[in-house]
Structure 1
């Protein structure tokens, strides 16, 4: 029986690594074409002949350059593509432009060299619903469903989804868009991850003999907040890609339907041997923040700056990689923990097409923390 061929764009990121692992776990796949600037991090990938690595800087290279390298790697027989490539930029317009460009190059390149392609999966996210903004630019009807109106003035997720739909329709490919919320996972050299920042914060508090204070406010601590573990996302993305009965369109994906930080935070504290202060919310604004506002009782952006020297002393003492602290997503943690609204995705559409799996989010946190110890990012 001939094997299926997949192309993974952004193969060295958290999501790309997760998809590579899922494909390698099955004998049905090969070649698996991994596209990134750096060679695959996975030991499994380095020792598996099915991995065909395409080293390219997609920002600096043209679609023709990419097509040439994909062709050389065997993309003529590719049937499924998974797109996770992303470049972070602080300037809003630059963020939109560069990420739109990445997707357009990938699509044009595959259009040139992959005549057998059946599906193209694009991972966007719950920012589609305006969860990062709140207020008038956020969908207020819960849980968020895939056909919700676009309320943000502009965001590259919209541009990408529209371009993919048009391009894939013209090529007669199925296009699949998945929208996770906060993604849990780990990638060497990429510390832009909520769980990594929490691990660094917890480790620092432990070494300083301090309590594990929730950075944000009480509303966000107790309200519904979805997590989307990278491994679970990739298994779902593969499921809908190879299932021809799943139509083109957008699909939410999350771990389960009951997550709150008030449940997770004490368990994270227990993992690190930390205590939660009582009362947890001394600040009146943290107890009763204004609706549709953001407020943190202890912003980690400020905390990280104030404790930077202490962390580097700890890193030196335990022979840790000191760069993780400097690249952690402190602002993102503040943006999440300081919200005053739920992040709540509907899984109705995914369930309709047969996806039944659920995942215990705290176990995903534990697995990330364990891996960070092995990677010498946090102390044992």
Structure 2
């Protein structure tokens, strides 16, 4: 019999990609998210529009899911403005409660075999201080308050008492096609380019000083998650995850400009958190002009415009501390996939054009 995976946060970057990836292999998929996931696959899957913050609703919805063997937990709660919430205790407590609300009733059904959790580079404290380079999974836990630690401690205890395995992935700057999410750059970059073109202005890089870091294609994260679901070498492990190379934004800009049909211009520091909401009416005109899907600026961005300012180092006069992670461990464990970062961004920008979210080139 096919395994059954429950994907929490299924409308997000990793969640939607995982729905597609597990469907590829013939698994039964239950997608949990308040919004219907937008996926590529034509095979049917079950969608449960659950708010994981509601304990009673979650328990009632999950109570009859006796066949769930695997969980991919890609749900996250972030506060408006994003960055300031990363050190907020309420944000941490809410994320722990959401995980508990789902796993407690599932664990009672005694079918669970494996849970995958997502963390990120904040596990190494990069949002608070410089980190060791490269960051390695075996380093001692960075001593700062973070919902990662709350969720990790909970899932370790629950795995021990209920007898299921778990794996924790730490991807770096995930890139995909999802709109209205908390941290995804292609919709931000695409909207910025379209508005600049509409206003007769070139597509200059809007960030701060040059620096180098890493990203990961959401398809690669989904493939690693599918591998971890059944790989003995992944049980009980943490894995950093990137495309396998470094990049600098200005080096990516010409390829993205070509894909979007805009002219590259000189750097022009611009806050995406301020620029894009202020041009919501311009965006609405672009949507009407090109017959795009009726997605407002707020619906397009989620909180990703704040994330863009963070990623582009907007306002920075000195390079941010290096945020490089080692991916040797996951490769040695058996997952060796890599991706070209320039192709990653171009691919997802073109997908957004094909979905009529962004205007054609």
1:288 is aligned to none
Decide whether the 8 Å contact of 1:206 with 1:272 is kept in 2: no
**More displaced stretch, 18-27 vs 149-158:** 149-158
Q: Note the 1:98-113 alignment, pairs <5 A.
A: 98-113=94-109
If the length of structure 2 is used for normalisation, what is the TM-score? 0.87
CA distance in 1, matches of 2:341, 2:257: 15
Distance verdict in 2 for CA 1:314–1:101, change over 3 Å: same
Greater Cα radius of gyration, structure 1 or 2:
1
> Higher relative contact order by CA 8 Å / sep ≥ 6: 1 or 2?
2
Q: Which runs of 5+ in 2 are unaligned?
A: 314-318
CA distance in 1, matches of 2:202, 2:359: 17
Distance verdict in 2 for CA 1:153–1:58, change over 3 Å: same
Decide whether the 8 Å contact of 1:132 with 1:335 is kept in 2: no
Does the alignment pair 1:258 with 2:231? no
2:125 is aligned to 130
1:166 is aligned to 157
- 1:76 aligns to what SS in structure 2? coil
- 2:233 aligns to what SS in structure 1? coil
- Equivalent pairs counted in the alignment come to 346
| Deviation (angstroms), 1:235 | 0.5
Does the alignment pair 1:240 with 2:225? no
| Deviation (angstroms), 1:327 | 4.9
| Deviation (angstroms), 1:14 | 2.0
If the length of structure 1 is used for normalisation, what is the TM-score? 0.83
Decide whether the 8 Å contact of 1:301 with 1:331 is kept in 2: yes
| Deviation (angstroms), 1:67 | 4.2
Distance verdict in 2 for CA 1:144–1:379, change over 3 Å: same
Distance verdict in 2 for CA 1:277–1:69, change over 3 Å: closer
CA distance in 2, matches of 1:372, 1:182: 18
**More displaced stretch, 10-19 vs 204-213:** 204-213
CA distance in 2, matches of 1:368, 1:195: 7
| Deviation (angstroms), 1:95 | 1.6
Decide whether the 8 Å contact of 2:125 with 2:144 is kept in 1: no
CA RMSD of aligned residues (A): 2.3
1:26 is aligned to 25
Decide whether the 8 Å contact of 2:177 with 2:349 is kept in 1: no
- 1:218 aligns to what SS in structure 2? coil
Q: Which runs of 5+ in 1 are unaligned?
A: 282-296
1:7 is aligned to 6
Decide whether the 8 Å contact of 1:219 with 1:341 is kept in 2: no
